[in-house]
Amino acid sequence: MYKRILLAYDGTESGQKALLDCRDLAQWGQSELSLVAVMPVPTNPMMIEGGLYDGVGDEELKATYESILDDGLQRLSLAGRRVHGELLAGDPVREITEYARKIEADLIVVGHKHLDGWAARWWRSATSPALIEHAPCSVLVVITH
């Protein structure tokens, strides 16, 4: 059974479903739970949309992701689960896989929403498939429609 489960939580509907499924799975196996929220950072911190990057809005973005993390921690705590949480910043796939290695996770749980149109699927980044390719352990993708 899984001893250490890492949940990548983003506060979305699919993320909340993954949180519930993770909670149940962890309870069944008496696993340690870790929760991460990954805050995006600019790909080129010097230039954003043709202008100079000045960092305005960074604190608001950080506060938003801290709120997402706190929400997930509170939901799991109210369900009687002990959980450790951490806010990460960077590329979600890289940050999640590095954190999974750091804590020696046996399972990564992530939510995914099926998108209806081809344009919607093309426009949205595909974190779940990339995570599966780079993960150091098993990955459970919780699907919502």
Q: What whole-number distance in Å separates Cα of residue 143 and Cα of residue 72? A: 18
pLDDT at residue 55 in the model: 59
Locus of tokens 């739970």: 33
Low-confidence residues of the chain: pLDDT under 50:
47, 118-123
Looking at residue 73, what is its pLDDT? Answer: 93
Report the alpha-carbon angle 108-109-110, nearest 5: 120
Residue 122: the pLDDT is: 43
Q: Given this model, what pLDDT does residue 128 score?
A: 67
Residue 111 to residues 49, 57, 108, 143, Cα–Cα distance (Å): 30, 27, 10, 6
Report pLDDT for 130: 83
The fold of 4-144 is Rossmann fold (3.40.50)
Give the pLDDT of residue 121.
46
Listed residue (25, 129, 22) closest to 75, CA to CA: 22
